Structure 1
Amino acid sequence: MSGPAPEALAEPSQQAGRAWTAALSLANGAIWVGWYGPLQILLALQAAQLAPPGTAKESVLAWVTGAGAVVSMVSNPLFGALSDRTASRFGRRTPWVLVGVLGGAGALVLLAGADTVPAMALGWCLVQLTLNAAFAAVTAAVPDRVPQRQRGAVGGWVGAAQILGVVAGTGLATAAGGVAAEGAAAGGVTAGYLACAGFVVLGTLPYVLLHRDPVLPAGRRPALSVRALAAGLWISPRRHPDLGWAWLTRFLINLGNALALLYLLYYLRDVLHRPDPADGVLILTAVNGVTLLGTVVIGGLWSDRAGRRQPFVLWSGVIMTVATGLLAGWQTWPGALCAAALLGVGFGVFTSVDFALMTQVLPAAAHRGKDMGVINIANALPQVAAPALAAPIVHHLGGYRMLYAIAAAVGLVGALLVRRIRGVA
């Protein structure tokens, strides 16, 4: 199509302002509150309450989180593609942020009232569907608005908000519900869900209300059809090998991380015999958050100034491998604390630098939202694979020691594969 590219499709050249970065980061953190309050605490407690007699709570949790991850895997690129085609006067991304967070809050309220395993699964799938609509739009806003030379720094602030969202979600789930053990009352779990729902909405309002999103002219909107949307979900790794290797690196490192975190509550209770496993999860999450915050922005800024991404991703993956190995080889509370701290160091650098790397291998500006959604499958798919792998490993193949050894190996392979990317230093 002739003529200069409109602002919504142009490669950004002006640095993103601090207020915009702060508002986007807060919105991102609020979405992660909606995910990780349930994932870290509430779903595990709810699974223990609702598991039918003779059914292991681990199996219920694995089934529910796996179903939600399947929904996440499909919905993120779908809503990214829809946002690419949105030509509203409020821009391409903002309408989906608003719709997503309002829907996510409503889904968390529905999940709070679930009294059967199928109702719990339905509620969690709706949470994943709606919050992924918002997350796809927030993620795509970075390549829309931030020049490549600044993406490590902005990725660092967005990543810092992500871990603060994880900590805040875990804290809300623990404090609002008053949970300290598996036997917490159902009312406490409900209060935790409601607290997370409120934070999701309030945290996104500054971005939605105060910042303009570039408008896509109706004449530049890609055609909308089911066939086009379905075809767009596949990006050929043969035509775009750097994107393929970057995707695989992210998938494997996230899979190792998901395997390490999925049964953390049960690990503290059943292996370390902590009397207050939920509080233990909160402590480990806080330790992890402190060390992550100490590296996520610095790592992004450092990679911007160095003009290199690969070495940072590689060595952050190695550090995360060592951390997960500690959970396998040093099964004590001090060992868990050291693992949480190291995992934060590694994941902090990985979060900011890998995000910047991903935005630099996108094929085209016209479908950044869809392409970032496909990339985000590398975050969601491990949530499907991890429960399927973790349950049989824990019950039949060596318990938690073997689980964490395999998680470490998977993460290390992912870190090494980043060296296959040729187009980004």
Structure 2
Amino acid sequence: MTAAPPGVVQAPTDRVPLRWILAFSLAVTGMFVGWYGPLQILLAKQAELFAPTGKEGLLALVTGIGALFSLIANPLWGALSDRTVSRYGRRLPWIAGGTLVGAGGLLLLATATGVPMMIVGWVLVQTALNAPFAALSAAIPDQVPVSQRGVAGGYFGVAQTVGSAAGVGLAVTGGGISGGYLACAVFVVVSAVPYLLIRRDQVLPAALRPAWSRREFLAGFWISPARHPDFAWAWLTRFLINLGNALALLYLLFYLKEEVKVADPDGAVLILTGVNAVTLLITVMVAGVWSDRVGNRRAFVTWSGVIMAVAGFLLAGWPTWIGVTIAALVLGVGFGAFTSVDFALMTQVLPAELNRGKDLGVINVANSLPQVLAPAIAAPIVAYAGGYPTLYVASSVIALAGAALVYRIKSVR
């Protein structure tokens, strides 16, 4: 094979400039606006509009189908971006295309007149926005040195948090369901522009692109736990903690309305998202910088899972506005630390540097698969197995399991 130019298959050593970090963070923010405006507010309101007596089941169906497409799309787009030969680079074409199509899916949701259009629109959003998500995730190991990845993961977490909060804000203040989707779509497109204009991306020489083989391409998505045990344990850790978090957040709007009995559930979600965001924004950067300095990623991941579990127990046993607010604060602390440090840890267990996009896509299945499973787990628990208290206890137990298993990873402290 032809020798690779520096930074294509080798770990980068030069620190990334501030303008790249800011543009990168804004692009990530836009993705999460496109996801969390619908997930936290708009899809739930549409489900209640189209099926008032079966809103929980419809919301579970729509989010579950969308997440199923998401878990396939992310590693697929990542693998294709690894192989992309373009004068603009490997990742930028997927960021541009996925952003535009994802915004189109949000516009389709804005005009949905029934359940079928709602499902198609959300599937389009989930499938398309995973292209920039896969490409931007791979940009960190592509361009950021290991010594700066905790900080980079912190910025990624900040962008995720700001995007989630901004998505909820746009959904609530956008002027109804259609206006909320339109506002999110515009933000998604505008936020990607600065990163695309910088055009800082690795260009893959045609000589380095592997010859096409469908069999080898598909087989590449299986990463053997026996050959790469640290990768497998890292995947399982992320999966469990994200599953616990997904269970805690899925029915938040309904929990506030039916269990806590707040007068304005939409406004309450917005307030809690803001509370959660403030604590998360603080801890995501502190934990990222701290883990870079001490070089111990696993301890941070463990304690973040424990703290998130505490939030779930609070929601289960203290269904009051004060209790929920404290739980939001605690959850922000835990998930903030987890977001930055776990991302840095993941980039250090990737099996092959030439396949960063694909391998991170496989890792990101641990983000999207919980969205598929959470509705299937949560709906019967709420309906038949003790309601919301049981649901939040289950989310805490799952998070604790993920926190414990991170110590099976041996190659990273």
TM-score norm. by structure 2 comes to 0.99
Deviation at 1:343, TM superposition (A): 0.3
SS at match of 1:271: helix
Matching of residue 142 in structure 1 with residue 140 in structure 2: yes
Aligned to 2:232: 244
Aligned to 1:354: 342
Q: Structure 1 CA distance, aligned partners of 2:338 and 2:7?
A: 30
Q: Which moved more, 1:225-234 or 1:319-328?
A: 225-234
Matching of residue 214 in structure 1 with residue 212 in structure 2: no
One-letter code of the match for 2:108?
A: L
Q: Structure 1 CA distance, aligned partners of 2:133 and 2:382?
A: 32
Superposition pairs of residues 231-380 of structure 1, within 5 angstroms? 231-380=219-368
Q: Decide whether the 8 Å contact of 2:256 with 2:265 is kept in 1.
A: yes
One-letter code of the match for 1:362?
A: L
Aligned to 1:8: 8
2:179 to 178, 191, 195: 191
2:115 to 114, 117, 120: 117
One-letter code of the match for 1:327?
A: L
Deviation at 1:229, TM superposition (A): 2.8
Q: Structure 1 CA distance, aligned partners of 2:172 and 2:241?
A: 28
Query: How many residues are aligned here?
Result: 413
Q: Deviations over 1:187-243 (max 9, x none)?
A: x10000000000000011000012321100011012334323321221111110001
Q: Decide whether the 8 Å contact of 1:20 with 1:211 is kept in 2.
A: no
SS at match of 2:365: helix
Aligned to 1:156: 154
Matching of residue 394 in structure 1 with residue 382 in structure 2: yes
Q: Structure 1 CA distance, aligned partners of 2:67 and 2:213?
A: 25
Q: Deviations over 1:278-314 (max 9, x none)?
A: 1100000000000001110110000000011000000
Superposition pairs of residues 29-178 of structure 1, within 5 angstroms? 29-51=29-51, 56-177=54-175
Q: Decide whether the 8 Å contact of 1:78 with 1:370 is kept in 2.
A: yes
Q: Which moved more, 1:109-118 or 1:339-348?
A: 109-118
Aligned to 1:404: 392
Gaps of 5+ in 1: 178-187
Q: Structure 2 CA distance, aligned partners of 1:281 and 1:226?
A: 46
Q: Structure 2 CA distance, aligned partners of 1:34 and 1:41?
A: 12
Q: Deviations over 1:90-138 (max 9, x none)?
A: 0000110000100111110011111111211111000001000110000
4+ runs deviating over 6 angstroms:
none
Q: Structure 2 CA distance, aligned partners of 1:352 and 1:253?
A: 14
Aligned to 2:190: 202
Deviation at 1:9, TM superposition (A): 2.2
Q: Structure 2 CA distance, aligned partners of 1:94 and 1:288?
A: 32
SS at match of 2:85: coil
Deviation at 1:4, TM superposition (A): 4.4
SS at match of 1:214: coil
SS at match of 1:215: coil
Aligned to 1:181: none
Q: Structure 1 CA distance, aligned partners of 2:5 and 2:201?
A: 16
Q: Structure 2 CA distance, aligned partners of 1:3 and 1:411?
A: 43
State the identity as a percent.
Answer: 61
Gaps of 5+ in 2: none
Q: Decide whether the 8 Å contact of 1:317 with 1:411 is kept in 2.
A: yes
Go from structure 1 to structure 2 and tell me whether the alpha carbon gap of 1:285 and 1:14 turns closer, same or farther (over 3 Å shift).
same
SS at match of 1:11: coil
Deviation at 1:10, TM superposition (A): 2.2
Aligned to 1:422: 410
TM-score norm. by structure 1 comes to 0.96
